[in-house]
Structure 1
Amino acid sequence: MSTAIRLHAAIHTKHVVRLQRRAPYSMLASLKRIVNRTPASPPTPTKVPDIQLHHGKKRIDNFSWMEQLDHPDLVGYIQAENEQVLFTKQSMSKAAFLKRAVLSEMKKRLHVPRMQAPLSTVAHGYEYYSRTSPYGMVYLRKKLGESKEEVLLNAGFLRSLNMSIRKVLLSPDHNIFAYNTETEGMEYGDLHLKDLHKETQGEKNETLHDVFNFVWANNETVYYTVPNEQLRPYRVYAHRIGTAQEDDVLVYEETDDTVFVDITSTKDMKYVTINSNSLSSSEIRVVDATHDYATSTQPHIQLVQPREKDIEYYVDHHKDTFYILTNADGATNFKLARMPDNMIGREHWQDVITMAENEKIEDVDVFQNHLVIYGRRDGLPMILCHDLSTQETYPVELPERFCVLQPGTNLDFDTEKFRFSIHSPFAHESTYDYDMSSRRLTSVRVQPIHRFDRSKYACTRVYSTSHDGTKVPITLIHRKDMELHGRNPVLMRGYGAYGVSTEPQFRIENFPLLERGWVIALAHVRGGSELGRQWYEHGKLEHKMNSFHDFISVAEHLIKSKVTSPEYLSAMGTSAGGLLVGAMLHLRPDLFKALVLRVPFVDPLSSMLNPELPLTQVEYPEWGNPTDDPSAYDLIQSYSPYDNVQGLNVPATYVTAGMKDQRVAYWQPLKLVAKLRDMLPSPSSSSVLLKVDLDRGHFGGGAEQEIRLSEVAEQVAFLISRVQKT
C-alpha cells in the first residue's frame, strides 16, 4: 500500500524541485477563452532587447520579457502559438489522420487488466491491494478468507478538483489510513488521516496542511516535512494523533539553502531517519521511533555522520545494527557497510558488500534474515541476495535482460519472500515473488501487450565511439527483420543528467512507431548512471559537453552503420533530456529531420544566473554557478540552446510547455521558440510548433487518460508526418 522504506544510492530528479512564479488565475482564464481564428502565418514575437553584463561579457536577451507573467504581450503570444498548432492540425490532413490512427492504436495496447496483484504478505488479518477504475485509483482491503471488500479510499473524486494522490501509508497497527494529496503543479498538499475503527465512525479523521512527505513513527505519531516559500522541504514536524497541527513539534530545521530534507523510517520501524541531502552529499540523523511526545517534546536525535564533500550515505536498521549504503572510501559505485547502533560514527563502519568495477548498488531492502541488493552489472539490472547468517551473497536470475527493475513495497520485515516487478519495451509491468530460502522465483502476474506479436521484435545493445574514444551504449528496439539500408525511420531518446538512467521501459507511444518499421534508439549518454557513478560524474559540470558529444556519436553511429540516415532520424527529450536534444538545434542540426522537446530545460543560463529563483543554488553541483564562476558561465552559454540557435538547417521541431510547471519554467520553451521564429529565414506554418498546456505541471496535467494519450499521439503523428516517407 505504500512505498517501501529504502536506501537510495542517488538523488533523483523528483527531489530537485525548482519553483517558478505561477500564472495568476486571471491570466489562465483569459488564455482559456481562445477564439479559434485561422492564422495566416506563424506568430511574430515582440523583441525587447535586454542587455546584460556578466564577467565583462555582454548578453542580449530579446525575449526576457516573457519571464514576466503580467507582461501585456504574453497572453497574446501564447494564444497565437496554441492557435498555430490547431491550425496546423486542421490544415494538414495527413497529420490529423495520423493522430487519430495513432491514438486508436495506443488504446488497443491498453486493453489489459490493470488491477495490482495482492501483496505477498498480509497484516492484522487483512489483505491489501489497489485497482484502477475509470475514475481513478481505488485502495481496498479484505479480511483473510472473506470476499467482502472494504474501500479505504476511492480517489476518483480528486480528479474534478485537479488533485492527485502523492502517497498512501497505513499506521503500524493498520487502524489509520494516511494519504497526502497535491493540487496539480504544487508538489505538496494536505495529509489526510482516515480513522478505520468501526466503533468511532471516522470521528478521529484529521487533516494536516502544507505537507511534502510523511512517515509513521508509531501508532500515535506521524512525522512530516514542509516546504518553505521556495518549495524546498526544510522542516520536520512530529504530529501526535488527536492533537491540533499548531501544537506539532518542530523536530529539525535545515537552514542551508543548498540542502533539502526528506524523512524515512527504518524497515524494522525502530527509527525515523532525517535525511539532509544535496546533489552530492548527505547527512542523516536518527530519532527513536518510540518517542512519546505526550511526555516530552525533546526527542533524542543522533547524527550518524557529519556531512563531507562528495560523500553520500543512507541508513537502515536491523536488530542492533545500522546498515549504511555509501560511496565513502573510494566506493564510487557504492558499497554496503554496517556499524553497531550503540557505536555511531564512520570509524565504526565495516564493509559488508563491495562492488566490482562494472557493478553498482542502487537500492537495498532489509529483511529479518536477508539483505536484498538492487543494482546494475554492465549497465543492466541485477538483484543480489545476502544471507545474514552465512554471509553468502548470490544473484537472482531475472526473466528479462533489457528491462526496468522496480522493487516491491515489501512491507513485511520478517519474511523469506520479496516482491519485485519488471517492465520491458515489449511488456506491461510483470510481477514476481522470490523465495530467499528455496531460491525459487514465482511469477505472480505477467501482462503481455494486447494484439502485439513480440516474437517479431528484439532488443540489442551496440556501441558508438564518442569524441574522446569512450564507448557509449545504445539500446536498439526494432523488428528482427530490420534491414541495414539507411532508410529505417529512427527515434532517438536520451536524458543524461542528475545520474538518471535512460531505461528500456514500456512506452505505449512506441508501438505505433515499431509497427510502422521504426527503430527506437536509447542513447545511454554520460550524465546518467547506466555505467556507474563515474558515468554520471563525467557528464556534469565541466564535463557536461560529454553528454552532447555522446548523443551526437550515437546519431553518427546509426547513420554510419546504415540503420538510418539524416532524412529518417528524429529525437525526443523531456526536461533535462530536452536540453540534450535541444542542443542539437545548434550543435548538429544536419543529423536530424525532426525533434520533439517536451517541457525542455533550454535556457539553463537564465535560470542559473538568477539566485533569487527558488532552489537555483541546489543545482549548482549539477550545472555550475555562472554568477560567481566565469568558466561556468562560458560553459553553460556554450551549450545553451536558447543562447546558440541560429535558425539555419533547423529540423522540424515540436515543443511543449506547462504554465504550472515548477521545475522548468514555462518561459524557457517559449523563449526558444520565439527566438527560432525570429531567426528562421523563411518560417513555414509547421516547421516549428509550440503547444502550451495551461493546466500542466512538470509531470503532466491532472487530465484524464484520454487527454494524455491524445497529447502523446499528436507528438508521434508529428514525427511520422515529418520523417516517414511511406
Structure 2
Amino acid sequence: MTADTTAPVVPVPPAATKVPLERTHHGDTVVDDYEWMRDKESPELIEYLQRENAYTEAVTAHQATLREAIFAEIKDRTQETDLSVPARKKGWWYYSRTEEGRQYGIQCRVAAEDTGDLTRDWTPPEVVPGRPVPGEQVLLDGNELAEGKPFFSLGGLSVTEDGTLLAYCEDNAGDERFTLRVKDLATGELLPDEVPNIFYGVSFSPDGSRVYYTVVDDSWRPYQVRSHTLGTPVADDVVVFQEDDVAMWTGFEISADRTQLLISIGCSEYSEYRVLDLAHPDGGLTTLVSRDERILYDAEPVTIGGVPHYLLTHNRDATNSMVSLVAAEQFTRPLADQEWTTVVPHDDAVRVNGLTVTQTHVVLSVRKDTIERVQVLPLAGLGTAEQDLPTEPDFDEELFTSNLANAEFDFPIIRLSYASYLTPPRVYDYVLEDGSLELRKETEVRGGYDPADYVAERRWAPAADGTLIPLSVVRRADLAQDGTNPAVIYAYGSYEASMDPAFSIARLSLLDRGILFVTAHIRGGGEMGRTWYEQGKKLTKKNTFTDFVDATTYLGTSGWADPERIAAIGGSAGGLLMGAVANLAPEKYRAIVAQVPFVDALTTILDPELPLSALEWEEWGDPITDAEVYRYMKEYTPYENVRPVAYPRIAAVTSFNDTRVLYVEPAKWVARLRETTTGSEPIVLKTEMDGGHGGASGRYSRWRDVAWDYAFAADAVGATEVLARSTSSVE
C-alpha cells in the first residue's frame, strides 16, 4: 500500500481588492486602499465578506469541537427554564421568564394585593421554574414575535398607570431602529397605532393618552423627543423637543413622581435639562441650567415642605460630582445668584453617579474603591442641619457590584441587584424605613457550582508613569503560582464606563481550563472616578493603551501567568484598544479577539456624516478642526498604525447591520493587517450577516458567539481541556 503523502490543504485568505482613495486633512495626505468596502450595497463587498467567513470557518475548523463543548457547558450550567423575581408596579407583579429550548424571554404579570400588611403585600409571589403561576397573564412572548424573522430585539416596554395598555418596540434587523406598537392587555389585540423607525425607550404619559419616544437623525444620533397621541395618525405626532447640535445626545425619562417629562441633552462634558409639566403638556418646556454654563448634571424633581425643588447631581466645582438641592424658582435667576444647598458634598474618593427618589427617601448610586454601591438618605431634614448621613447595605465580599434594580415612588421597598465574580446574581428587597435586607433570589448555576473552587482578588499593576492600575483577577483556587498558567486579559477603557464585578457562567469554561481571567481597569474608564476617565481621553488617550500593555507585562511577571500564553479580548471601543495594543506590543499576546472593533476611528470621526461620528468629538477630540488632535489620533488609531511586525493570531468579529461600529472598520483593518504582517499567524474576519452591535439575537445564538470567541482564545493559549480538580487549593 502506498503511503498517503498528500500535504494538508492550507486555507488561503481572500484577496482584498485595492482601490486607492486619497484624503487630505491639515496638509497630510493619506492613501486608503480599502475604503471602497464602505459601500454596503456593493455585490463585490457582500461576496468578499462571504469569502472571509468561509476562510474563517476553514481556519478555525479544528476549534469546532471546543466551541461545541463550551456552548454545551454554558447551556448545561444555565437554568434554562427560569423566572425573574416579580417587581411590583401599582396593582401588579411584573416578571419575565425563559423556557428550555426557546431563544427569547416571555414578559408576564400577576395581580398584587393590598391588605395593609407590609410583609404580605410586599412579598413577591412564589414563582418556581417550570411550574404554572396562578393567574399569570402573558404580556409579550418574544419567541412568537421573533418567529420567521432574522433578528429580534426589544428596545423598550411601558405599561400605563392603570395597567390596561402595553407599549413596546422591536427591532427585526439589528440596526437599532425599532417599531413602536401598543397592545390592549384586556383583549390581547394590537391597537392601530404603529410608529416605525424610533430609537430605544418608550414611556406613557401618566394618563395613558400619549406615548413619548425618541427619533434618530441620518447619522444615527437621537435628536428628537416626540409624543404620539393614541388613536391619531403618526403624521400628527408632536415634536416635543429637537436638538440640532450634532455633538449632543438627546434622551428623556418620566420623573420618579410621574409629574414631569425630563429631557436630557448632553455630551460627556456638559449637559442641559428641559422639563415639561405633564399635567399641562401644552405649557411648553422650561430650561433648568443652560448648557452654556458648561456643567454636567442630572436632575430629579422633589417636593420639600410643599415647595417644588430639584435634586441635581452635578460637577459644578466638583470633579467627582456632588448632590445639591435647588428650589425650582431659583432657575429663573442667573446661575451666580442661585442658591444651591449641599446634600451630598464632593469627595475626591467617591464618585456620585446619580440618584432617584421615592416619597420618603433619596436613593444614591456612588462608586467608592472602584465598587459601585447603593446608598439611602431620608428626605426628612434634607438640606438642613438635621439631615441624616447616607446608609448602605452591608455585603461581605471585597469585589462586588450593587445596583438599584427598581424603585417605585410610592412604595416602601426598593429592589437591589447584587453580583460578584464568584456570586451568581442576587435580588434583594431593601426596606427603606429600617434598612432590613431580604434575599429574594440567587440565580441557580447547575452542575454543582461551588464558589469555593474559585478565587477573585484585586491586584495593582504599575504603569510606566507610576500610576497603579487596578486588576480584577479570577482563577481556579487550585492553580499553582508557578508561572505556567494561560491567561485572558480583558478591558474597555473609554467613555467613563466601568467594567464592574459580575458573574459569568461562560467565564467558568475558561477558568476550568486553567485560564486566569483578568479585567484591567485602565484609564479612560470610570472605576477610579472622574479624573481616571479624564486621564484616558482626548490628548491623554494613549494612557488607555499603555496601561493595558503595562497590565499585561505585570501579569506575565506576577508568577501566575506564562507571558507566552496570554490572549486579549475587547469589544467596541475596547476593540480599538485591541487594535492599538496589537500595534504597540504584538509580542505580548498569543491571540487577540477584537469584537465589533472601532479600529478605523480616525476615518470615522473625520466624516461628521457617518453614524454617531460627531458625538465622538467629546471623547477623542475633533480632528477636523484641530490639527493637534488629528496628529495625536493618527499616532494611535489602529488602522493607520499597522506596521511590518509579526502580529499574533487575530480574530475580528463584527456584524453587518451594526450602526455603532460599522462592519467596514474591521474589514479594512484585517485586509491591511494581512497585507503588512511579517508573521504567519492567521488573521480572520467573522461577520454576522443578520446581527447588530451586540451580535446575533436570541440567547442560544449569543452563547454560540461567546463560545466562538472563547474557543479562539483558549485554543491559542493551549488550554482546550478541562483540568481535573486538585484535592487542595493553593492560595
Q: Distance in 2 between matches of 1:170 and 1:69?
A: 38
Instruction: Kindly indicate whether the alpha-carbon contact (under 8 Å) linking 1:426 and 1:449 is maintained by their aligned counterparts in 2.
Output: no
* 3-state SS of 2:342 partner: strand
1:699 and 2:697 are equivalent in the alignment: no
Q: Distance in 2 between matches of 1:139 and 1:560?
A: 49
In structure 2, the residue matched to 1:210 is 197
In structure 1, the residue matched to 2:703 is 709
In structure 2, the residue matched to 1:116 is 84
Q: What amino acid does structure 2 have at the position aligned with 1:706?
A: Y
Mapping of 1:550-629 within 5 angstroms? 550-629=547-626
* 3-state SS of 2:428 partner: strand
In structure 2, the residue matched to 1:325 is 312
How far apart are 1:203 and its partner, in Å? 7.8
Q: What amino acid does structure 1 have at the position aligned with 2:286?
A: Q
Change (3 A) 1:330 1:683: same
1:255 counterpart (219, 244, 262): 244
Q: Distance in 1 between matches of 2:224 and 2:280?
A: 18
- Larger deviation, residues 363-372 vs 70-79: 70-79
How far apart are 1:398 and its partner, in Å? 2.9
* 3-state SS of 1:276 partner: strand
Change (3 A) 1:40 1:529: closer
In structure 2, the residue matched to 1:665 is 662
Q: Distance in 2 between matches of 1:188 and 1:78?
A: 24
How far apart are 1:122 and its partner, in Å? 4.8
Mapping of 1:630-709 within 5 angstroms? 630-681=627-678, 683=680, 687-702=682-697, 704-709=698-703
Instruction: Kindly indicate whether the alpha-carbon contact (under 8 Å) linking 2:298 and 2:314 is maintained by their aligned counterparts in 1.
Output: no
Q: Distance in 2 between matches of 1:316 and 1:66?
A: 46
In structure 1, the residue matched to 2:725 is none
1:437 and 2:433 are equivalent in the alignment: yes
1:357 and 2:348 are equivalent in the alignment: yes
Q: Distance in 2 between matches of 1:648 and 1:439?
A: 59
User: Identity percentage over the alignment?
Assistant: 31
In structure 1, the residue matched to 2:15 is 44
**Residues 518-554 of structure 1: per-residue CA shift (max 9 Å, x gap):** 1111100011000111111110000101101111111
* 3-state SS of 2:98 partner: strand
Q: Distance in 1 between matches of 2:65 and 2:97?
A: 34
Instruction: Kindly indicate whether the alpha-carbon contact (under 8 Å) linking 2:646 and 2:679 is maintained by their aligned counterparts in 1.
Output: no
Change (3 A) 1:40 1:352: closer
Change (3 A) 1:447 1:73: same
In structure 1, the residue matched to 2:371 is 380
Return 5+ residue gaps in structure 2 as ranges. 1-8, 114-132, 382-386, 722-731
**Residues 361-414 of structure 1: per-residue CA shift (max 9 Å, x gap):** 12312011111111111111222110121421222213543223332122x212
Instruction: Kindly indicate whether the alpha-carbon contact (under 8 Å) linking 2:309 and 2:328 is maintained by their aligned counterparts in 1.
Output: yes
In structure 2, the residue matched to 1:308 is 292
Return 5+ residue gaps in structure 1 as ranges. 1-37, 293-297
Change (3 A) 1:204 1:112: closer
Q: Distance in 2 between matches of 1:445 and 1:576?
A: 34
Instruction: Kindly indicate whether the alpha-carbon contact (under 8 Å) linking 2:272 and 2:291 is maintained by their aligned counterparts in 1.
Output: yes
How far apart are 1:112 and its partner, in Å? 5.7
* 3-state SS of 2:425 partner: strand
1:515 and 2:512 are equivalent in the alignment: yes
How far apart are 1:662 and its partner, in Å? 0.6
**Residues 22-74 of structure 1: per-residue CA shift (max 9 Å, x gap):** xxxxxxxxxxxxxxxx8742222223332333222232222122122344542
In structure 1, the residue matched to 2:474 is 477
In structure 1, the residue matched to 2:5 is none
* 3-state SS of 1:344 partner: helix
Q: Distance in 2 between matches of 1:557 and 1:189?
A: 45
Instruction: Kindly indicate whether the alpha-carbon contact (under 8 Å) linking 1:140 and 1:152 is maintained by their aligned counterparts in 2.
Output: yes
Q: What amino acid does structure 1 have at the position aligned with 2:603?
A: S
How far apart are 1:169 and its partner, in Å? 1.1
Mapping of 1:16-31 within 5 angstroms? none
In structure 2, the residue matched to 1:6 is none
Q: Distance in 2 between matches of 1:569 and 1:157?
A: 43
Mapping of 1:175-324 within 5 angstroms? 175-197=164-186, 202=189, 206-212=193-199, 213-219=201-207, 220-291=209-280, 298-308=282-292, 310-319=294-303, 320-324=307-311
How far apart are 1:461 and its partner, in Å? 0.6
Q: Distance in 2 between matches of 1:379 and 1:466?
A: 18
**Residues 291-333 of structure 1: per-residue CA shift (max 9 Å, x gap):** 26xxxxx323211111136421111122233333333332111
Instruction: Kindly indicate whether the alpha-carbon contact (under 8 Å) linking 2:371 and 2:500 is maintained by their aligned counterparts in 1.
Output: no
Q: What amino acid does structure 2 have at the position aligned with 1:311?
A: I
Q: Distance in 2 between matches of 1:309 and 1:717?
A: 50
Change (3 A) 1:135 1:89: closer
How far apart are 1:705 and its partner, in Å? 2.7
Change (3 A) 1:449 1:78: same
- Larger deviation, residues 644-653 vs 586-595: 644-653
How far apart are 1:647 and its partner, in Å? 4.1
TM-score (norm 1): 0.89
TM-score (norm 2): 0.88
Greater length-normalized contact order (CA 8 Å, ≥ 6 residues apart): 1
Mapping of 1:461-472 within 5 angstroms? 461-472=458-469
In structure 1, the residue matched to 2:93 is 127
Kindly report the root-mean-square deviation, in angstroms, between the aligned alpha carbons of the 2 structures.
2.2
Q: Distance in 2 between matches of 1:443 and 1:225?
A: 36
1:336 and 2:320 are equivalent in the alignment: no
* 4+ runs deviating over 4 angstroms: 201-205
Q: Distance in 2 between matches of 1:416 and 1:81?
A: 56
Q: What amino acid does structure 2 have at the position aligned with 1:436?
A: L
* 3-state SS of 1:477 partner: strand
Aligned length: 674
Instruction: Kindly indicate whether the alpha-carbon contact (under 8 Å) linking 1:323 and 1:336 is maintained by their aligned counterparts in 2.
Output: no
How far apart are 1:107 and its partner, in Å? 1.4
Instruction: Kindly indicate whether the alpha-carbon contact (under 8 Å) linking 2:97 and 2:107 is maintained by their aligned counterparts in 1.
Output: yes
Q: Distance in 1 between matches of 2:241 and 2:679?
A: 58
In structure 2, the residue matched to 1:416 is 412
Instruction: Kindly indicate whether the alpha-carbon contact (under 8 Å) linking 2:324 and 2:341 is maintained by their aligned counterparts in 1.
Output: yes
